Structure 1
Amino acid sequence: MKNNRSGQASVFTMSECSKIRRCIKSQKYKLLLDLAWFTGERWGALIQLKVHDLYNDDRTVRSYVTFRSRTRKKCGGQRKTRQVPIHPTLRESLQSYTPDPHSEWLFPTKRSYITEEIAKHITLRYADLIFRQAVIRAGLESRGLSTHSTRRSFATHLARNGTSLRIIQKLLGYADLKMLAVYIDVDDSELEGAIATL
């Protein structure tokens, strides 16, 4: 468990995710949390999503979300583009969201109309602040949650639901299974259950 920014980010439940989501005021940042929960991608890549990574030219939602290689962390010495099928709940969030027509970014900063500044995407620091504030408002600050919790939760819940490690590895974009081990959380009841099957 993460304590004072040390250790592993904690895994959280769908119920806790919903509680955190209700504490986020903006539809834009609710969508950011939805993308994190349903894709397992790192927040550094999420904030760099462009509208065309999720939407067709006619603004219909694509079948996959595309995380471009240059936005992703290196795994095995190289960056790789990753595509994740869009979950039905995420599709609903994307359909009800209207991207800023003046920006290529899905999560642009606020534009300055005085200087006609071109909008850029929000920073990771700002996204982290939004998440942490929502966690506090949800009363979950003692749980050791961070933005990385969504990635660990994605992998852990897939494993607990019986998804093969090979499929989880592919969904997270890892070259080998060794990298996956740190993402899947195992609790005592699961250990007891495994022994009981002998």
Structure 2
Amino acid sequence: MPKINRCGKAATITPAEYLKIRKQIKTDKYKLLWDLAWYTGERWGAIIQLKVADVYSSSGKPKDLLIFKSIIRKHRPDGTAENTEIPVHEALGESLQRFEPSESIWLFPSRCGEKPIGWRNAYDILKRATENAGLSSRGISTHTTRRSLVNRLRRSGISKEIIRTLTGHRDNKGLDPYYEIEIDEKRGAIATL
């Protein structure tokens, strides 16, 4: 799915489009992957590497705080990365409660169960669901959920500092390219003059 006319940036989507794509995902496992991406804004490469113990307590209950360990997160050019803590949204908590992990240690195991699914496999699921939802021309990619979360938070008035903490960005220089100012926001700004 090319990022059509987006200058290399993934499209952002609305909650209605999120639901439209989610409807096209056939298995609970991949619906949970989609939900985790939508409600945490974490990169898919980190999400597919989650272990069951990262998301569920030893008693099998979903945790209310997800910790994406630095080892699975994208590293900066200097080789560093930090853990990122993200509180579990109520809707994501419900999705986690409905989901029954397999016997594998991985939340999203491959067919053999000895390793997690590959990024390409996850991307193909998204591509198919996006096509079936009639949204393939939008420029949606695995980074769409991350950019959409940043912009939903921004439009809700959440400070850059909190958004940066949730996304794991070190500074605004890394975060600012995620911001997508919509034409209605520009019109509103001009209307205040």
TM over 0.5: yes
Q: CA RMSD in A?
A: 1.6
Alpha-carbon distance in structure 2 between the residues aligned to 1:173 and 1:55? 22
- 1:88 paired with 2:90, answer yes
Counterpart position of 2:171: 176
Deviation of the 1:76 alpha carbon: 6.6
Deviation of the 1:196 alpha carbon: 2.1
Deviation of the 1:38 alpha carbon: 0.1
One-letter code of the match for 1:134? A
Counterpart position of 1:196: 191
Alpha-carbon distance in structure 1 between the residues aligned to 2:5 and 2:46? 24
Shift of the 108–6 alpha-carbon distance from structure 1 to 2, 3 Å rule, reads farther
Counterpart position of 2:23: 22
1:32 match: secondary structure: helix
Deviations 1:80-108 (A, max 9, x none): 1111000000000000000012x110000
Counterpart position of 1:54: 55
Deviation of the 1:61 alpha carbon: 1.0
One-letter code of the match for 1:98? E
Instruction: Percent identity, please.
Output: 47
Shift of the 5–180 alpha-carbon distance from structure 1 to 2, 3 Å rule, reads closer
Deviation of the 1:195 alpha carbon: 2.3
Counterpart position of 2:68: 67
2:108 match: secondary structure: coil
One-letter code of the match for 1:69? S
Alpha-carbon distance in structure 2 between the residues aligned to 1:84 and 1:120? 24
Deviation of the 1:149 alpha carbon: 0.5
State the number of aligned residues: 191
One-letter code of the match for 1:26? T
The ranges of structure 1 where at least 4 consecutive aligned residues each deviate by more than 3 angstroms after the TM superposition are none
1:106 match: secondary structure: coil
Note the 1:92-131 alignment, pairs <5 A: 92-101=94-103, 103-111=104-112, 119-131=114-126
Question: Which of 154, 167, 170 pairs up with 1:159?
Answer: 154
Deviations 1:41-71 (A, max 9, x none): 0000010000111110001111111111111
1:99 match: secondary structure: coil
TM norm structure 2: 0.94
Shift of the 76–160 alpha-carbon distance from structure 1 to 2, 3 Å rule, reads farther
One-letter code of the match for 1:41? E
Contact 1:2 1:9 in 2 (8 A): yes
Question: Which of 132, 153, 157 pairs up with 2:127?
Answer: 132
Shift of the 6–109 alpha-carbon distance from structure 1 to 2, 3 Å rule, reads farther
Deviation of the 1:6 alpha carbon: 6.0
TM norm structure 1: 0.92
